[in-house]
Structure 1
Amino acid sequence: MPLTDEEVDAAVTNLDGWEHADGALRRSVKFPSFLEGIEGVRKVAEHAERKDHHPDIDIRWRTVTFALVTHSEGGITDKDVQMAAEINEVLGEV
């Protein structure tokens, strides 16, 4: 079940670097180099595959944007909030 806008906005306050924009949770990360950005994407992708919950990923040179929304539920769910927190953990290892 999708969260309300108020619930999403409240959750974002606990998700460092994330915002509620365009119907999704979004975080852009600027990496020191293109290859380090690709390595960050690889680590997030491996984690997402294990969890079977995949972010949309946009790569623009050193800036990588992750977007989370549960398309099958028609909005942002607790699964997305959890994955955002997990992506932060994964990126902390990069």
Structure 2
Amino acid sequence: MPRLLASDDLLAQLADLPDWRLEDDRLVRAVERPDFAAGLALVVAVGEEAEAMNHHPDVDLRSTRVRFALWTHVANGVTQYDVELAHRIDDLL
């Protein structure tokens, strides 16, 4: 099972993810896209990355706004998998 990141480790890694925040023991980021189709395309692209990692985010798509929440269910918190997926999402943006 993946291990939870210690608070200090997580805060240090968040320095490289300035658009992400901790919310309810999850890494969270919301982005605006120009239209619904662009938001949906982003969700599909993130889904492909998530499948490749076998690590799946919670996604909420509402009109032009996409919200990602990352946490490792089996560890009940944020692990290195979540940090890696956050970086991959940032790369897609």
The Cα of 1:76 is off from its aligned counterpart by 0.3
Residue deviations 1:14-42, cap 9 Å, x none? Answer: 01311111110001010011110000001
The Cα of 1:9 is off from its aligned counterpart by 2.0
Structure 2 equivalent of residue 89 of structure 1:
91
Structure 2 distance, partners of 1:21, 1:10, is 16
User: Unaligned stretches of 5+ in structure 2?
Assistant: none
The correspondence of residues 59-70 of structure 1 with structure 2, limited to 5 A, is: 59-70=61-72
Structure 2 equivalent of residue 72 of structure 1:
74
Identical counterparts, % of pairs:
38
Structure 2 equivalent of residue 25 of structure 1:
27
State which of 50, 54, 57 in structure 2 corresponds to 1:55.
57
Residue deviations 1:36-67, cap 9 Å, x none? Answer: 00000010001111110111001121110011
The Cα of 1:73 is off from its aligned counterpart by 1.1
Q: TM-score, normalised by structure 2?
A: 0.91
Contact 1:8 1:20 (8 Å CA) reproduced: no
Q: Tell me the amino acid that sits aligned with residue 88 of structure 2.
A: E
Secondary structure of the residue aligned to 2:31 is strand
The Cα of 1:4 is off from its aligned counterpart by 2.0
Q: Tell me the amino acid that sits aligned with residue 69 of structure 1.
A: W
Structure 2 distance, partners of 1:43, 1:16, is 21
Structure 1 distance, partners of 2:18, 2:36, is 22
1:3 equivalent to 2:9? Answer: no
Structure 1 distance, partners of 2:36, 2:8, is 36
Contact 1:16 1:88 (8 Å CA) reproduced: no
Structure 2 equivalent of residue 46 of structure 1:
48
Structure 2 distance, partners of 1:10, 1:20, is 13
